[in-house]
Amino acid sequence: MKKNKNLGPVVAGVRFKNPVLLASGTAGDGQKLKDFFDLNELGGIITKTLTFNPEEGNPAPRIIEVFGGLINSIGLQNEGVRQFVKNSGPFLKKIKTRIIVSIGGKTPEEYGQVLAHLEKNSAGFISAYELNLSCPNVKKGGLLFSRDEKLVRKLVAKVCRATRKPVFVKLSIACDLLKISQVSLEAGASGLSLINSIPAMAIDTKTGQPILGGISGGLSGPVIKPVALAAVYQAYQEFKAPIIASGGIFTAEDAVEFLQAGARLIAIGTANYIDPTAAIKIIRGLENFGF
Amino acid sequence: MIFNLKAQVIKNFEIIPGYWHLDLAALPIARSFFPGQFVEVKCGSGLTPLLRRPFSIYQADSKKGRVTLIYKIVGEGTAQLAQVKKGQHLEIMGPLGQGFQLQKKWRRIALVAGGLGILPLFSLVKKARAKNPQMNFEIFWGAAAKSHFFCASEFRGIGVKFFFYATEDGSKGAKSFIPQIFKNHLAKGAEYDQIFACGPRQMLAKVAGISKKFQIPAQVSLEERMACGFGVCLSCAVKTRAGYKKVCDDGPVFRAEEIVW
């Protein structure tokens, strides 16, 4: 049976032309990829995580390559949601792919503020939200919040009440993943985004000091694929909820593994750095697999 | 416009032990690059090493469509690069970043280079002198040893007459670090319209101090660990007076006074 090219997956009520998204933090707002391919071919773009106020990010060095991957400690550098809407809004309104905006904050209230500003000012270019409860590179919020079940329940419920759009909660394996997934879904999340980069670090043996300016960071790339796959598989088996899967996806075959594990959408991150056309190659490759 | 293409290797040979010359057929990049820009090259065919490696563009021939890189073997990526043979292809992305800014009215320009920091300065001088033969460049060049000044003759070939050398081992020029030599020269009354500098960060910080002291504007070319190379991942952050900027996209060339050293 030939796949109708115009029909991609419907996930949490949103039609995507194909299951391939660009992962948060790896494509900015998409503009800088224009030279490499037609952004309209993508299933969607998940933006860099936005906080209410601008965040500077961590001191350099912010990355270190390791075997099979890289560790990043960017630290959620972003211009803040108000500047984002001004700077990126006009561009995002024009492109014909789904935009999922990632929201973060130092406090639960801040997540709410970011969402409220977007709901009021984004003029409809946002299809869904990704709630970042898993960034390993910030001292407040992110991963730390996901270790507090009560906080997660309250935060997710508040965010979901404030929008009609689907909310995916992005989680890390460094929290009680199944428990926090359950709490998120019970609190109103439409789905899960699994997994964020894995807490990791490297030490310079000449100095005995951590190499990264942020001390530790998040591991991403091919080396984490088996870990991400297990997380997606377990979460799907447990909850049968919509899942955006990410973690070391480099080829169409990698993507298929995650779709077969139960994910509805997949996100490409580190692969973009090695080949900025990776997402397009995966989209074409998936067509051969019938996705 | 950034091009991402497969470039055929025309030449890849060792200049002096550990230092290599690579010529690639990359017409779109050769035609559109500005001095100070760089390329990201995928070294090796597998996933090790994973990330592309950034290299300054030494020079480009827009008629022949050739891009020349000079690189030192410092790790896995460059070691694999040295294995690549004529006729093979390399994935290369570029031209990347902001290049050097040149003004026609300038007459005397100082170049301060540390080791392979000399590389992006070559095409700056070549293009500048081709359009503005009245521009004079003087090079202040520091390196580990005499053998590292292997491209000095190429600079002489494009009309550079004055070279001040410094080596760590004293084998050529002063047994010193180049910023001190440059500073001494300025203290004797030398005047320049602009300084261009490239090399280790410590060296550049000293040049920035000299630029401020002698009131001569300086442009510096920085390096930082990179992942994407084209401005999306925010890995290559450098602290400036206006917050963190990206070396790959806002740089690699910055005004020295912008940087928080």
pLDDT of the residue at A6: 60
What's the distance, CA B163 to chain centroid? 17
pLDDT of the residue at A17: 96
What's the distance, CA A116 to chain centroid? 20
Residue B52 CA: distances (Å) to CA of B44, B56, B67, B93: 9, 13, 17, 9
Query: Which residue, B119, B258, B108, is CA-closest to B198?
Result: B119
Distance, in Å, from the CA atom of A6 to the CA atom of A22, rounded to the nearest integer, reads 20
Which residue matches tokens 């070691």? Answer: B79
Residue of chain B whose alpha carbon sits nearest to that of A277: B4
Query: Which residue, B5, B7, B6, B11, is CA-closest to B85?
Result: B11
pLDDT band at B40 (very low <50, low <70, confident <90, very high): very high
Q: Does B4 touch chain A (CB under 8 A)?
A: yes
Which residue matches tokens 């999922």? Answer: A100
Query: Which residue, A28, A31, A163, A16, is CA-closest to A90?
Result: A31
Q: Does A253 touch chain B (CB under 8 A)?
A: no
- Across the interface, whether the CB atoms of B239 and A72 are under 8 A apart is answered no
**How many residue pairs bridge chain A and chain B with CB atoms within 8 Å of each other?**
95
* Residue A141: its H or E element: none
Backbone phi and psi for residue B102, each to the nearest 5 degrees, phi listed first:
-125, 140
Say if CB A149 and CB A105 are below 8 A apart. Answer: no
Contacts of B242 in chain A (CB under 8 A): none
Contacts of B244 in chain A (CB under 8 A): 56-57, 77
Catalytic residue among A92, A135, A156, A241: A135
- A135 in catalytic set: yes
Residue B149 CA: distances (Å) to CA of A233, B167, B185: 58, 10, 20
- Give the DSSP letter string of A234-267: HHHHHH---EEEESS--SHHHHHHHHHTT-SEEE
Residue B48 CA: distances (Å) to CA of A69, A87, A253, B42, B45: 9, 37, 19, 10, 8
Amino acid identity, position B240: T
Q: To 10 degrees, what angle do helices B201-214 and B178-187 make?
A: 10
Mean pLDDT score, B189-206: 97
- Across the interface, whether the CB atoms of A77 and B232 are under 8 A apart is answered no
- Provide the strand spans (E) within A47-96: 63-66, 69-72
Give residue-wise pLDDT tens across range B63-91.
999 999 999 999 999 999 999 999 999 99
pLDDT of the residue at A138: 83
Contacts of A33 in chain B (CB under 8 A): 232
- Give start and end residues of each alpha helix (H) in A95-245: 108-121, 149-161, 177-186, 225-239
Q: Does A63 touch chain B (CB under 8 A)?
A: yes
Query: Which residue, B26, B245, B30, B230, is CA-closest to A277?
Result: B230
- Across the interface, whether the CB atoms of B233 and A74 are under 8 A apart is answered yes
Say if CB B256 and CB B219 are below 8 A apart. Answer: yes
- Across the interface, whether the CB atoms of A272 and B52 are under 8 A apart is answered no
pLDDT of the residue at B49: 93
Per-10-residue mean pLDDT of chain A, 291 residues long, equals 67 96 95 95 97 95 96 95 96 95 94 96 91 88 88 96 97 96 98 97 97 96 98 98 98 98 98 96 93 82
Give residue-wise pLDDT tens across range B119-169.
999 999 999 999 999 999 999 999 999 999 999 999 999 999 889 999 999
Distance, in Å, from the CA atom of A258 to the CA atom of A269, rounded to the nearest integer, reads 15
Q: Does B224 touch chain A (CB under 8 A)?
A: yes
| Signed CA dihedral, B92, B94, B96, B100: sign only | positive
- Provide the strand spans (E) within B43-200: 53-56, 59-61, 66-72, 89-96, 108-114, 136-143, 162-167, 174-175, 194-198
pLDDT of the residue at A123: 66
pLDDT band at B214 (very low <50, low <70, confident <90, very high): very high
* Whether the predicted pLDDT of B177 surpasses 60: yes
Tell me the percentage of chain B whose pLDDT exceeds 90: 97
Report helix, strand and coil shares of chain B as percent, to nearest 5.
Answer: 25, 35, 40
* Residue B185: its H or E element: helix B178-187
Residue B164 CA: distances (Å) to CA of A14, B137, B141, B167, B179: 66, 12, 6, 10, 11
